[in-house]
């Protein structure tokens, strides 16, 4: 009798130990995947924050630029920089033939003319003089310098020619190639050229979309939650509404995208590809999340507080507005932020309403065409150029950073402001 009891006890302890082991290995697996994922993204993406520059001597020849004596600022604006830009690149190899000169030109981005122009505009005294100017290297050379380019491929399988590599290596040997922090990644809009592509447009697009989404979803959701929780009679109809709100939260986001396409664009003719439409579409998606969070936090306010207020002669509206709603706000707000974070990472509905279009301007308002961060990742991931690989990872890093900050904020609000009920 006693022995079998002991066996039973041992069995129970062993079962518990096994269970703990399963739990630990599950956590270990999760952490392992997370680590691999983060390591992969960082190791691919970190180099996108560096940009390669060629330092090229430029002679600001007034004649080539078609400039008169003592040019005004306007003259400088209108001057022709293409010839001196071409010439300075061609001068890298005095013996170059016409084809080779063309190849030399392609070693820098097509912004080289603009970069030379800016140099002169900043310092008009350079006319007639020679100065070394930083020019953005072409994306392929950028990759060569970062060591991401397979130099040992046969020449006909490479986009960089042997000649370009030779000149480039000479420049490297002379210390005329430099890597600097890639500011333009944050200040430029998208571009077909990886070396000139930045996230400014998609970042602003995301911000505007989220703001529009917040301004629509938050008031509607909070009012709906307050009504359902505090005022609505509990009957079949409100049960039905509740079930449907929960269902709405489970609807695939692409369906909302189709709704945006079919209603906002086709019927209301709102401007295509804009954060306005994106934000409205995302707000439909965020609405149930916020309603559910707000209702849960309203429910968590103890009924004794409502009774106390009602017994003091407060009307239902006063009870709700003076006590219940303020007490539920921390939960509601953190739910809202989590809903917005979800919306921020949403891609499919935005693609459907046209936010996938190539936008090379930075939007100034929600009415301007824009991309958004996740869509930008999608666009770049689709592109063939080698330079976009690291850009994709870098963009993911920015998006993840954004999401982590938002979730952190939600946690802080929850822990700091939520009342503890003894």
Partner 1 sequence: MIKIKAKNVDVFYGKKQALYNIGLDIEENQVTALIGPSGCGKSTFLRCLNRMNDVIDICRVKGEILINDFNINDKSCDVVRLREKIGMVFQKPNPFPKTLYENVSYGPTIHGMAQSKQEMDEIVETSLKKAALWEEVKDRLHEPGTGLSGGQQQRLCIARAISVRPEVILMDEPCSALDPIATAQIEELIDELKKEHTIIIVTHSMAQAARVSQNTGFFHLGHLIEHGSTDKIFKNPDNTKTQDYITGRFG
Judged by CB under 8 A, the number of residues near partner 1 is 21
The answer to whether residue 382 forms part of the interface with partner 1 (CB under 8 A) is: no
Shortest distance in whole angstroms from residue 356 CB to partner 1: 48
Q: If you compute the radius of gyration of the chain from its CA atoms, what whole number of angstroms results?
A: 30
Round to whole Å and give the CA distance between 71 and 61. 13
**Nearest Cα to Cα of residue 210 among 410, 347, 396, 372:** 372
Shortest distance in whole angstroms from residue 195 CB to partner 1: 57
Range in contact with partner 1 (rule: CB under 8 A) among 54-62, 67-75, 154-162, 318-326: 318-326
Shortest distance in whole angstroms from residue 300 CB to partner 1: 13
Round to whole Å and give the CA distance between 383 and 194. 9
The answer to whether residue 125 forms part of the interface with partner 1 (CB under 8 A) is: no
Q: First-to-last CA distance in the chain? A: 46
User: Could you give the 3-state DSSP secondary structure of residue 179?
Assistant: strand
Among 8, 223, 266, 308, binds partner 1 (CB under 8 A): 308
The answer to whether residue 300 forms part of the interface with partner 1 (CB under 8 A) is: no
Shortest distance in whole angstroms from residue 297 CB to partner 1: 14
Q: Got the DSSP string for 195-211?
A: GG--SHHHHHHHHHHHH
78 or 307: CB nearest partner 1? 307
273 or 332: CB nearest partner 1? 332
The answer to whether residue 228 forms part of the interface with partner 1 (CB under 8 A) is: no
Range in contact with partner 1 (rule: CB under 8 A) among 204-212, 218-226, 256-264, 317-325: 317-325
Could you tell me the two tokens for 234?
Answer: 């509990």
Contact characters 323-362, partner 1, x per CB under 8 A: x---x-----------------------------------
Alpha-carbon dihedral sign for residues 142, 153, 89, 189:
negative
Range in contact with partner 1 (rule: CB under 8 A) among 142-150, 269-277, 319-327, 360-368: 319-327
Among 315, 361, 365, 411, binds partner 1 (CB under 8 A): 315
Could you tell me the two tokens for 12?
Answer: 């129970």
Among 131, 299, 306, 414, binds partner 1 (CB under 8 A): 306
Question: Do 329 and 222 contact (CB within 8 A), yes or no?
Answer: no
Range in contact with partner 1 (rule: CB under 8 A) among 24-32, 126-134, 194-202, 298-306: 298-306
The distance of Cα 79 from the centroid of its chain, to the nearest Å, equals 38
Among 96, 310, 357, 381, binds partner 1 (CB under 8 A): 310
Could you tell me the two tokens for 137?
Answer: 């290297």
3-state secondary structure 93-139: CCCCCHHHHHHHHCCECCCHHHHHHHHHHHCHHHCCCEEEEEEEECH
Rounded to 5°, angle at Cα 234 from 225 and 219: 10
Site residues for partner 1 per CB under 8 A: 233-234, 302, 304-315, 318, 322-323, 327, 419, 422
């Amino acid at each position: 009798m006693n022995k079998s009891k002991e066996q039973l006890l041992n069995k129970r302890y062993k079962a518990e130990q096994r269970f703990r082991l399963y739990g630990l290995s599950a956590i270990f697996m999760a952490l392992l995947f997370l680590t691999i994922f983060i390591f992969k993204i960082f190791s691919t993406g970190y180099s996108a924050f560096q940009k390669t520059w060629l330092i090229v001597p430029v002679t600001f020849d007034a004649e080539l630029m078609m400039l008169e004596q003592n040019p005004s600022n306007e003259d400088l604006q209108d001057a022709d920089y293409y010839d001196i830009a071409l010439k300075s690149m061609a001068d890298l190899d005095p013996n170059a033939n016409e084809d080779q000169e063309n190849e030399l030109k392609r070693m820098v981005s097509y912004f080289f003319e603009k970069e030379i122009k800016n140099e002169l505009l900043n310092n008009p005294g350079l006319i007639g003089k020679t100065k070394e100017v930083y020019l953005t290297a072409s994306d392929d050379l950028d990759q060569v310098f970062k060591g991401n380019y397979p130099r040992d491929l046969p020449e006909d399988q490479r986009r960089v020619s042997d000649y370009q590599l030779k000149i480039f290596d000479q420049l490297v040997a002379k210390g005329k190639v430099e890597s600097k922090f890639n500011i333009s990644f944050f200040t430029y809009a998208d571009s077909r050229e990886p070396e000139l592509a930045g996230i400014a447009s998609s970042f602003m697009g995301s911000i505007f979309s989220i703001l529009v989404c917040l301004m629509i979803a938050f008031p509607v959701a909070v009012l709906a939650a307050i009504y359902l929780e505090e005022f609505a009679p509990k009957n079949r109809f409100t049960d039905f509404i509740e079930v449907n709100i929960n269902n709405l939260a489970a609807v695939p986001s692409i369906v909302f995208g189709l709704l945006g396409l079919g209603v906002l664009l086709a019927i209301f003719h709102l401007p295509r590809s804009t954060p306005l439409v994106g934000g409205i579409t995302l707000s439909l998606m965020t609405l149930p999340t916020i309603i559910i969070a707000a209702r849960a936090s309203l429910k968590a306010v103890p009924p004794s507080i409502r009774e106390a207020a009602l017994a003091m002669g407060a009307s239902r509206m006063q009870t709700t507005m003076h006590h219940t709603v303020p007490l539920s706000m921390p939960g509601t707000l953190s739910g809202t932020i989590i809903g917005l974070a979800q919306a921020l990472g949403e891609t499919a509905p935005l693609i459907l309403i046209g936010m996938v279009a190539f936008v090379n301007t930075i939007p100034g308002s929600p009415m301007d065409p824009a991309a958004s961060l996740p869509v930008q990742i999608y666009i770049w991931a689709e592109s063939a150029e080698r330079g976009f690989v690291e850009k994709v990872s870098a963009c993911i890093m920015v998006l993840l950073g954004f999401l982590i900050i938002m979730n952190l904020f939600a946690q802080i609000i929850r822990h700091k402001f939520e009342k503890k009920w003894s």
